[in-house]
Structure 1
Amino acid sequence: MSTTATRNLRSSIPVPSIKELLSQTLLAVPERYLRDVHADYPTAAGDSSLHLPVLHMAKLLDPRFHQIELQKLHNACKYWGIFQLIGHEVCDESVESMHRKTEEFFNLSTEEKKTYAQKPGSLEGYGQAFVISEDQKLEWCDMIFLKAIPVQTRKLEFWPEHQPRHFREALDTYSHDMKKTAVSIIGFIAMALGLDAKIFFEAFEGGSYEVRMNCYPPCPEPERVIGISSHADISCVTLLTDCGDIPGLQVLKDGQWVFVEPITNGIVVNIGIIMEVVSNGIYKAPYHRAAVNSKKDRFSIVTFCYPDGNFEIKPAEQLISSDSIAQYKSLTYDEYKQSFYERIKLSNDGVPFIDSLKI
């Protein structure tokens, strides 16, 4: 695919926002949002005995508990690919402030939000992601997607300026706090694999961090729509905070969809495909999705964490041996991103992105 064609995939066709649809006293869900009815309803509860592992950052930092907690981290990454992180250093006010600003933004009028709408050739801004055809099924979600770090990559025309008040300041603080947490937890994940944490600290200290704020409005037929379709993240790790106590995130575990119950002051850490490649498949990027409900808005904030552009995406050499051959290709960061956008165009062939990276 040409560079121009790849660039064109990094944008999205404008579609009406869900809140805009609901303002028209919606009695039935429009056809483009309806999914085929089958037994696997997104609102159906899975195995209620399954709960995400919970890791404690303070214990990872404490020499008395470090090894035990590091083993717990290894098991969480290997058997789940996702866990809840507590005891981190992100202050409550930073998270609570960003949660307030997220809700305030989505509660602005349609015209005010459209000021920050996506433009041709860019996925940044307010809208929906990866709408590449006029007939594809749509997700029951409004979002605003912004590049946050490095600061020089920010496109401030998409950052709300006057309303909500202090939105930019809140996001600046929040994104730097998430970066600090990401650098720490990725270093510990490297340690759990027996790798040199310093390499990862440096790669992610100079890495890029993108923030997506989601609004899942109530739906009259929640069992027939999806908030976000099943997917695995292409980041190294993804950090999610829920703006409230409404469960919606689901992760696929042993063939069952498990609701992720929000924990007060908890951060959901999700392994991405970059880490799956680096670990040579020891850690898997889990498939996850978002369900919606019929009663109340749900808001969440997702931070996608990437290494710097010089980081080579390949299985770590320490994990390769005669008994464990490399399972994935070696790619530069740019090649990796381009491969992902090529997969979007070919998504109808049913081949997952991770499979296209396998040797």
Structure 2
Amino acid sequence: MTVQELIKKPLTSVPQCYVNQPQNHQPNSSVEDESFSHAIPTISLKKLTHVESTQTEQERLNSACKDCGFVQLVEHGINPLVLKTLKEEIEGFFRLPLEEKMKYKIRAGDVEGYGAPILSNKDQKLDWADRVYMITNPLSRRKPYLLPELPSSLRSILEVYIVELQNIAMTLLGVLGRALKIERRELEVFEDGMQSMRMTYYPPCPEPEKVMGITAHSDVAGITILNQLNGVNGLQIKKHGIWIPVNVSPDALIVNIGDLLEVCSRLLHI
């Protein structure tokens, strides 16, 4: 059963398979609220690509990547109408009747699709979330029953958004590549590399202190670009051993330096 369907019934407690709140994951109560908004530096993509301010903004980006591996990206160039339409279409998808969404369910032996991953053992804990996960690039990797078959209005805006993110990602990788003294030809591996997308819905929970929207993790990718579609904050980053809640600015994209790029940067400096 999906979490969205689960909460349609009166719940007084969370089912045991969702109880997943490690003690060391609680945000540090001694961290002042003011520092939350500064936990992730804000970087302007427009300034990164503007001749007069490129160097200064690039230095700020490099510093942010070394310090915490996250930035809030503003002035990224995505049309606000695209973001607004994307939000409406994704929300519309999760409002569809269950039987409609189950057309895209995760299939046995796979991880792509709608719903929660299939439990591999009885002790495994589930995230308090429903999601659609799919590989979107290269085109040959797309599952024929996922993106190609999504409702047409959602599919259309996702195609626009995917291209926008590819352009932003390559721009950022180019800037970071120059800082790391990586040859442009060495970055070409990312140009038609694997890109995946995860659309996640976090339903209300009767015992939110006992669950995780998404289990603590690091991303194995080169970079991850996160678009928070509403004003409900929940993102936390681990900085200097402390979990810090982050207030995401409206229309900002959160960029996370993934394990792959971190490993590349370490190898280059051995």
User: TM-score if structure 1 supplies the norm length?
Assistant: 0.70
- CA–CA separation in structure 2 for the residues paired with 1:262 and 1:101: 21
Equivalent positions of 1:113-262 (< 5 A) are: 113-129=101-117, 131-159=119-147, 161=149, 163=151, 165-200=152-187, 202-262=188-248
Whether 1:60 aligns to 2:45 is: no
1:108 Cα shift?
1.3
Partner residue, 1:94? 82
Query: 1:42 touches 1:226 (CA, 8 Å); kept in 2?
Result: no
- CA–CA separation in structure 1 for the residues paired with 2:109 and 2:22: 34
The Cα RMSD (Å) is: 2.1
Give the AA of the match of 1:184: T
Give 3-state SS (helix, strand or coil) of 1:146's partner.
Answer: strand
- CA–CA separation in structure 2 for the residues paired with 1:104 and 1:120: 26
Give the AA of the match of 1:246: V
- CA–CA separation in structure 2 for the residues paired with 1:101 and 1:35: 30
Query: 2:225 touches 2:255 (CA, 8 Å); kept in 1?
Result: yes
Whether 1:272 aligns to 2:258 is: yes
- Measured against aligned partners, the alpha-carbon deviations of 1:77-128 in whole angstroms (never above 9, x if no partner) come to 0001001011112222222222211111111122211111011122111022
- CA–CA separation in structure 2 for the residues paired with 1:36 and 1:260: 19
Total equivalences in the alignment = 267
1:44 Cα shift?
6.6
CA change 1:184–1:246 in 2 (3 A) is: same
CA change 1:266–1:45 in 2 (3 A) is: farther
CA change 1:40–1:149 in 2 (3 A) is: closer
Give the AA of the match of 2:50: D
User: TM-score if structure 2 supplies the norm length?
Assistant: 0.91
Partner residue, 1:346? none
- Measured against aligned partners, the alpha-carbon deviations of 1:10-51 in whole angstroms (never above 9, x if no partner) come to xxxxxx211111011222111111135737436979542142
Partner residue, 2:64? 76
Partner residue, 1:355? none
1:135 Cα shift?
2.7
1:259 Cα shift?
1.7
Give 3-state SS (helix, strand or coil) of 1:32's partner.
Answer: helix
- Measured against aligned partners, the alpha-carbon deviations of 1:64-87 in whole angstroms (never above 9, x if no partner) come to 111111110110000010010111
CA change 1:43–1:112 in 2 (3 A) is: farther
- Measured against aligned partners, the alpha-carbon deviations of 1:310-337 in whole angstroms (never above 9, x if no partner) come to xxxxx23xx3xxxxx3xxxxxxxxxxxx
Gaps in structure 1 of 5+ consecutive residues = 1-15, 281-314, 320-324, 326-359
1:167 Cα shift?
1.3
Give the AA of the match of 2:194: S
- CA–CA separation in structure 2 for the residues paired with 1:114 and 1:103: 16
Whether 1:17 aligns to 2:2 is: yes
CA change 1:221–1:112 in 2 (3 A) is: same
- CA–CA separation in structure 2 for the residues paired with 1:171 and 1:214: 14
Query: 2:226 touches 2:254 (CA, 8 Å); kept in 1?
Result: yes
Give 3-state SS (helix, strand or coil) of 1:101's partner.
Answer: helix
Query: 1:247 touches 1:260 (CA, 8 Å); kept in 2?
Result: yes
CA change 1:35–1:123 in 2 (3 A) is: closer
- CA–CA separation in structure 2 for the residues paired with 1:179 and 1:63: 22
Gaps in structure 2 of 5+ consecutive residues = none
Give 3-state SS (helix, strand or coil) of 1:89's partner.
Answer: coil
- CA–CA separation in structure 2 for the residues paired with 1:121 and 1:177: 31
CA change 1:156–1:92 in 2 (3 A) is: farther
Q: Which has the higher helix share?
A: 2
- Measured against aligned partners, the alpha-carbon deviations of 1:172-198 in whole angstroms (never above 9, x if no partner) come to 111111111111111111122232245
